[in-house]
Structure 1
Amino acid sequence: RFQSADARGTLAVPLSKAGVESLQGRLIGDLAATFGAGARLDGGEELNAGLTWTPRRSLRLNGEWAISHEGVPDALRTEPEYFGPPIVVFDFRAGEAVEILPLRGGNPDLQPPESERLSVMTSLGPFTTWALSGNLAYQRAQSTNGIGVLPGLTEDVEAAFPDHIRRDSDGRLVSIDYRPMNLGSTLIESLNTGFNFNLPRAANVPRDEATVLRIAVNHSFHLSNRVRLRAGLPELDRLKGDGGGLSRQSGRLTIDARRGRWGANVSAQRQEGYRTRRFAGQDDTEDLVIAPFSTLDLRFSFQMNASGSRTGAVDGSRRRKSGGLQLNLDVENLFDARREARLGDGAAAPGYGRDVQDPLGRTVRLTLQRRF
């Protein structure tokens, strides 16, 4: 059994007000500062400060800084150990892909992490009748003793955590301990952008018959991702492939449309390729080079006639109108894309065949739903 409680407070201080008959109000616009603090029963605490500036109605700038000494959630400490579903892992030592049983569960030895976060965001819009808007955000997060899991299996990771890697008498990989652990230190910086617009609704058209179209484009660019697994070990640059590589860029396009009882949604994602180095700090012919990966998902819906209008119940109360039946057709991964990879010398990478990493591929689902 465990219990938790937390208390938080925020103070907002207006520094300038737009529209006020003063030189400051006309030149600066809206400007406000916020200060906050929080504390948890398990010992965690946080301090934060922010600044919001709106010089014009269509321009908004936000900045926020926070430092926290976080407690460890009891669930991460007390969850029983268990073996999760089998996963396929590329074993650099053996040069082969192996299906293993990952060890999951809690870790009673977790230490409280400390972190410092900084974010700066600019929002523009909406402009014109299309409600054009955009945003640009910079985020930086640095932590000590941050709670994470073992990164991708490489020679360096296995040398640093031999007790987390289990092999049989023949040296074949059997299991990896993926229970939560404290990482020495991490530094993550990213730049995120977004763009949105809506199709203007035609005048004198009933709401149920109007065409609705919304488009959103989002892009994420990782500036840095460095981790020191434990004190005394060298820092790993994960964007270059150390300690399990990470994609530097990713993007997403979402289109929502509706006209009358018909609806459609299109979602496209793309992830840049990346490298996982066998040894940190240098490229090798036996590195794992992951190809770029893109998927496209579709959803079509048809709203059938409502099953009835508002009717009086036995007790005389009124019942809300039912939503009726809705027919949905979902197609996930329309082009049946599968992750592909090669070794550093160009040879095909074991474990990345068509039916190994993602044997399911394209999924088509037809559903009938009704709200009561």
Structure 2
Amino acid sequence: MIGQKRHGRLIGCTILLLSGGGAMAQHRQSASADPIVVNGRKQLGETQPLRHFDADELRAMGITSIKDMMERLGAQLKGADGANPVYAINGRRPLDDEEVQSLPFDAIQSFDLLPQEAAAGLGYSPNQPVLNFTTKAKFQGFETMANGQTSTDGGGGSADGRFAATRLRGKTRFTLTATWLRQNELRQDRRSIRPDPSLPFDSVGNVTALGGGEIDPQLSALADNPVTIAAVPRDPAARRELDAYLPGANRPNVTDPGAYRSLQPRQRTMKIAGFFSQPISERTTAALSLSAERQRSWSLQGLGTASLLVPAGNISSPFANDIWLNRYVNEADPLTQSGSIWTLHAGLGFVGAFGGWNWSLRLNHDRKHNQNDSELGFDMAGVQDAIMQGGDAFAPFAADQIGVAIRDRSRSIVTTNDAQLILNGTVLTLPAGPVAVTTTFNAQRSRSDSQSRAFPDADSLLGRSQGGSSLALSIPIASAADNILPFLGRLSADVSGGVNAVSRYGPLYTAHASLIWTPVRRVQLLATLKHAETAPTLDQLGAPRIATPNTPFVDLVSGESLFVTSVFGGNPGLSAEKRRTLTLTANIQPLRTDAFRASLFYEEARLYDQAATLSVLTPAIAAAFPDRFVRDAAGQLTSVDLRPLNLHRERQRTVKASLSFSGPIGPKPAKPPEGQPPKMTYLHASLTPALRLEDRLLLSPGATPLDLLDGDNIVASGGRPRWDVQGDLGLYRNGIGMFVQSVYHSGSRARSPIETADLRFASLGTTALTLYANMEQLWPKAGWAKKLMIDATIRNVANARPQVRDRRGDTPIGQQPAYLDPLGRVVSLRIFKRF
């Protein structure tokens, strides 16, 4: 009874919190007029924004979420080195990502793009730009989104949706969100993919010799050349005659397994999240974040296979020698793989100030439960016994002779608890300005428990404790505005250092030094040196081993593209990674308006013991990691270990430029009615080319260096493209808009003396087109159009797919275009409604 009363009070409070339809309508009408909240702005110091965006401008562009904003303004929001921005809300660091992503766009008054030196004041790494969102003082509303998409080639469709309810009153905020995704399976037979003729398996069968040589000398004599594989005759009455195998000599039967293999799994995802913040004193605010997500997937992995020994004396065999009968087990269901992932998160945070210092405390608990069930094949001992006892080897398999599916069941549970305390303030004031200091203390305890039926020796129970601290200083050196060394303009330095003690890996160090110089207005030059040591994640160390049969793989040692059993999971032997980088950046605003920006960036990076997954086999990889690849007696690759491993050393040099314009064009429009976006023409355009100057990799000590820009590669997609170019163009006017985004990657090469392993990867360019309409602006008097937005998108407009050719001009089986990009062109329709 008491529990029922408590539940009743909780439900009643929730309803009361989300109620108030009349008041909510009133808040909608005065949305643009709401005052803003600038909580904690001092935590960011006196940093001047690089760009200021008004929320009305973004709504005029058809942007409905922070995700939309990142997609459409990405070139302007990223750092010069391509780093994604970090977030701040009202000048403070958010508790977690959910606090940001669940923030309704209508609750945002404006946002500022701040330079990377502002990141240190929030406890972030001081090499990322900061997006600071300023929220409205009062907001209450609901929003829903529904999206559906499908490929124009057919199949692979999906649908997703979102519901969110938010109430915002100053520093008090409550948000409840629910999201879902339903993705359909896409089978291989829906695409133009030819089967692999090198596979010996077929629904009727093929015969091969035990040692990989000729099957029968008499059959070779009839064929006038050695016969190493022969098709089983489709006529059962002819299978006991040797000459019936002559038409199929060295011409095996081939079955297309496309109907039994998924290119894209069926997936179902549901997530519920809530966020609540509330002042608990005059200068302290507490926040609570809770979320739960479940993801389920299911896919077909092809037909089971059987290689059965048929002795020479078997009554159904016309051969003088023992042979292998290679068949698909098409009498049984296809092999399947299924998985489920539960993710739980709880976060508790406090933000406050005392004595001129700002502080924040963040406590998080995360738990991830991952379970997989893979069918690897069937127990064919019953069929083999029947053949050895004189049964017809070529007859269809009896259902009672096929054993149960051989399964690999694996599961892992990863639990993490962490705490972080950040203190930020001013320690002293120099003539050029105050010296800001940020001190961060962190502690974490993690545990990983993984088990696998197929690999019981790899079961692991890992625990990790880590703790550390860091100190960051922002030091002003010169300031023309304050007449301190005015000939230098504005000059400052950011320095930071930290240590993190990780169990098993010992102390790991980070260091950073930046010099930021603004010699004249609208020109900024930056030079940065960074050193970082990072331990591998528990998932990289202890994820359960999962074996997946019938996966396409490229063997550049033999020049074959074939299907193998791939093993995924963690590697407990990984070492910590070290990374040292030098970056030089120039940011220029050549016009009086902030709408146009130009950047030039150079980076030189050295990586030591980086954790990576090798998805291709080359002679260099085979020499460095021979135990990762298994071949059968005939020398054909059968199994590959794709767990992460450490690469000894890599050096990269990159130069990148960025040009962008985003802002209204034409005469300034009249002020719109309250709650309505302005009637204006808005243009967004950007161009971001990147050129890789060098990318050399040493797989292991003493190995020959690989040039990933000139024919060497470690992934199935080829070497690294020398050029990457992205261009965006958006035009928006009075509720109707268009956005075009194009991406280009130059071609690459995988060099080999073997014709079939000497591959060329063609350059690839794709374009996405989005058309949107703000129905409220088009039909302002229609009730149904109120707060309604519709957009339609075509991704990969030209239906372009990766193209791979060997020296003879042929496409390897495992690198057919539809394997590399199963969906191709995708069309989607999204409806967004606010209440």
One fold, TM greater than 0.5? yes
Distance 1:209 1:87, change over 3 A: farther
Q: Distance in 2 between matches of 1:359 and 1:247?
A: 21
Q: Distance in 1 between matches of 2:471 and 2:600?
A: 28
Are the aligned partners of 1:156 and 1:243 in contact in 2 as well (CA < 8 Å)?
no
Are the aligned partners of 2:764 and 2:802 in contact in 1 as well (CA < 8 Å)?
yes
Are the aligned partners of 1:253 and 1:269 in contact in 2 as well (CA < 8 Å)?
yes
Partner in structure 1 of residue 739 of structure 2: 265
Partner in structure 2 of residue 16 of structure 1: 478
Distance 1:102 1:256, change over 3 A: farther
2:562 aligned with 1:98 = yes
Partner in structure 2 of residue 316 of structure 1: none
2:690 equivalent among 217, 220, 228: 220
SS in 1 for 2:589: strand
How far the C-alpha of 1:58 sits from its partner, in A, is 1.0
Partner in structure 2 of residue 312 of structure 1: none
Are the aligned partners of 1:69 and 1:112 in contact in 2 as well (CA < 8 Å)?
yes
How far the C-alpha of 1:181 sits from its partner, in A, is 1.0
Partner in structure 2 of residue 55 of structure 1: 519
2:770 aligned with 1:299 = yes
SS in 2 for 1:76: helix
Distance 1:333 1:79, change over 3 A: same
How far the C-alpha of 1:213 sits from its partner, in A, is 1.2
How far the C-alpha of 1:123 sits from its partner, in A, is 0.5
Write out per-residue CA displacement over residues 104-149 of structure 1, whole angstroms, 9 at most, x where no aligned residue: 2211111112221111100010514483211011111112212222
How far the C-alpha of 1:155 sits from its partner, in A, is 2.2
How far the C-alpha of 1:4 sits from its partner, in A, is 4.6
2:555 aligned with 1:114 = no
Distance 1:263 1:34, change over 3 A: same
Partner in structure 2 of residue 318 of structure 1: none
2:493 equivalent among 33, 46, 52: 33
SS in 1 for 2:623: helix
The alignment of Structure 1 onto Structure 2 pairs a total of residues equal to: 352
Are the aligned partners of 1:270 and 1:294 in contact in 2 as well (CA < 8 Å)?
yes
How far the C-alpha of 1:237 sits from its partner, in A, is 0.9
How far the C-alpha of 1:222 sits from its partner, in A, is 0.6
Q: Distance in 2 between matches of 1:300 and 1:125?
A: 30
1:235 equivalent among 701, 705, 728: 705
How far the C-alpha of 1:172 sits from its partner, in A, is 3.1
Q: Distance in 2 between matches of 1:5 and 1:328?
A: 47
The one-letter code sitting in structure 2 at the alignment partner of 1:106 is G
- With normalisation by structure 1, the TM-score equals 0.86
Q: Distance in 1 between matches of 2:467 and 2:772?
A: 43
Q: Distance in 2 between matches of 1:138 and 1:39?
A: 27
Partner in structure 1 of residue 209 of structure 2: none
Are the aligned partners of 2:669 and 2:679 in contact in 1 as well (CA < 8 Å)?
no
Partner in structure 2 of residue 183 of structure 1: 647
Partner in structure 1 of residue 795 of structure 2: 332
Distance 1:369 1:172, change over 3 A: farther
Of residues 210-219 and 153-162 in structure 1, the stretch that sits farther from structure 2 once superposed is 153-162
Q: Distance in 2 between matches of 1:208 and 1:100?
A: 58
SS in 1 for 2:587: strand
Of residues 113-122 and 169-178 in structure 1, the stretch that sits farther from structure 2 once superposed is 169-178
The one-letter code sitting in structure 2 at the alignment partner of 1:222 is R
SS in 2 for 1:153: coil
The one-letter code sitting in structure 1 at the alignment partner of 2:480 is A
SS in 2 for 1:356: helix
Distance 1:289 1:19, change over 3 A: same
Partner in structure 2 of residue 200 of structure 1: 664
Of residues 228-237 and 285-294 in structure 1, the stretch that sits farther from structure 2 once superposed is 285-294
Distance 1:354 1:78, change over 3 A: closer
Distance 1:174 1:36, change over 3 A: same
SS in 2 for 1:75: helix
How far the C-alpha of 1:169 sits from its partner, in A, is 4.0
How far the C-alpha of 1:254 sits from its partner, in A, is 1.1
The one-letter code sitting in structure 1 at the alignment partner of 2:768 is D
The one-letter code sitting in structure 1 at the alignment partner of 2:831 is L
Distance 1:169 1:262, change over 3 A: farther
Partner in structure 2 of residue 137 of structure 1: 601
Partner in structure 2 of residue 174 of structure 1: 638
Write out per-residue CA displacement over residues 46-66 of structure 1, whole angstroms, 9 at most, x where no aligned residue: 011110000111100011101
Are the aligned partners of 1:97 and 1:350 in contact in 2 as well (CA < 8 Å)?
yes
- Segments of 5+ residues of structure 2 without an aligned counterpart are 1-446, 448-463, 778-784
Distance 1:101 1:8, change over 3 A: farther
The one-letter code sitting in structure 2 at the alignment partner of 1:340 is Q
CA RMSD of aligned residues (A): 2.6
Are the aligned partners of 1:46 and 1:67 in contact in 2 as well (CA < 8 Å)?
yes
Of residues 192-201 and 323-332 in structure 1, the stretch that sits farther from structure 2 once superposed is 323-332
How far the C-alpha of 1:150 sits from its partner, in A, is 2.0
Once the two structures are aligned, what percentage of the paired residues are identical?
Answer: 27
Are the aligned partners of 2:488 and 2:519 in contact in 1 as well (CA < 8 Å)?
yes
1:347 equivalent among 809, 814, 818: 809
The one-letter code sitting in structure 2 at the alignment partner of 1:36 is S
**1:51-90 correspondence runs (5 A):** 51-83=515-547, 87-90=551-554
Write out per-residue CA displacement over residues 131-185 of structure 1, whole angstroms, 9 at most, x where no aligned residue: 3211011111112212222263212212321211233444333332222111111
SS in 2 for 1:44: strand
Larger Rg: 2
Partner in structure 1 of residue 827 of structure 2: 364
SS in 1 for 2:678: helix
Write out per-residue CA displacement over residues 202-241 of structure 1, whole angstroms, 9 at most, x where no aligned residue: 3134452112111111111111111111112111111111
Distance 1:264 1:102, change over 3 A: farther
SS in 2 for 1:251: strand
Partner in structure 1 of residue 616 of structure 2: 152
Q: Distance in 1 between matches of 2:834 and 2:630?
A: 50
Partner in structure 2 of residue 319 of structure 1: none
Distance 1:98 1:284, change over 3 A: closer
Are the aligned partners of 1:277 and 1:284 in contact in 2 as well (CA < 8 Å)?
no
Question: Is the helix fraction higher in 1 or 2?
Answer: 2
Q: Distance in 2 between matches of 1:290 and 1:199?
A: 38
Distance 1:10 1:200, change over 3 A: same
Q: Distance in 1 between matches of 2:529 and 2:786?
A: 45
SS in 2 for 1:209: coil
Are the aligned partners of 1:154 and 1:277 in contact in 2 as well (CA < 8 Å)?
no
Distance 1:67 1:208, change over 3 A: same
Are the aligned partners of 1:8 and 1:39 in contact in 2 as well (CA < 8 Å)?
yes
SS in 2 for 1:305: helix
Of residues 222-231 and 243-252 in structure 1, the stretch that sits farther from structure 2 once superposed is 243-252
2:246 aligned with 1:246 = no
How far the C-alpha of 1:198 sits from its partner, in A, is 2.5
How far the C-alpha of 1:9 sits from its partner, in A, is 2.0
